[in-house]
Amino acid sequence: MDKPIKILIDTNVIIDYIAQREPYVEQAVKIVKMCTSGKVVGCIAAHTVTNIFFILRKDFTVAKRKEFLLDLFNEFSVVGIDTYKLIAALRDNKFSDFEDCLQDECAAYFNADYIITRNTKDFTDSKVKAI
């Protein structure tokens, strides 16, 4: 039996899914459904949780944001941020965006095959291929 594809889903894709952002929501729904069906094993980085909670503050109540995020934990693994990942990201000169570099560190730790993002150009030098 083939091993399932493993992906890390970037913050922007999860926000597209939760906030139903056009024109991206259709693709975000497909990605989430692939994970929930078991066709793909998905994860998110721990800082994605805090970023989503903050970014969606104008669109959703605290209770609704917590509900969305708790639901994510039922479907996705969450890769933590630790000293090693933070130091590695800070020392990595290939990324200009620290948050993207942390996404890459988390994807590598998860042994992800891909990072799913709308901003592939931000991951041109990543350890894990961005699609």
How far apart, in whole angstroms, are the C-alpha atoms of residue 82 and residue 116?
A: 22
Nearest alpha-carbon partner for 100 in 47, 24, 29, 28:
47
CB atoms within 10 A of CB 50: 13
Q: What are phi and psi of 7, to 5 degrees?
A: -135, 150
The pTM assigned to this predicted structure is: 0.92
How far apart, in whole angstroms, are the C-alpha atoms of residue 101 and residue 125?
A: 10
Helix, coil or strand: residue 73 = helix
Q: What is the pLDDT along the chain (131 residues), one digit of tens a residue?
A: 578 899 999 999 999 999 999 999 999 999 999 999 988 999 999 999 999 999 999 999 999 999 999 999 999 999 999 999 999 999 999 998 999 999 999 999 999 999 999 999 999 999 999 99
Phi/psi region, residue 111 (left: phi>0; alpha: psi -120 to 50; beta: rest), is: left
Q: What are phi and psi of 45, to 5 degrees?
A: -85, 150
Q: Which CATH architecture has domain 5-78+111-118?
A: 3-Layer(aba) Sandwich (3.40)
How far apart, in whole angstroms, are the C-alpha atoms of residue 19 and residue 11?
A: 12
Tokens of 126: 């990543």
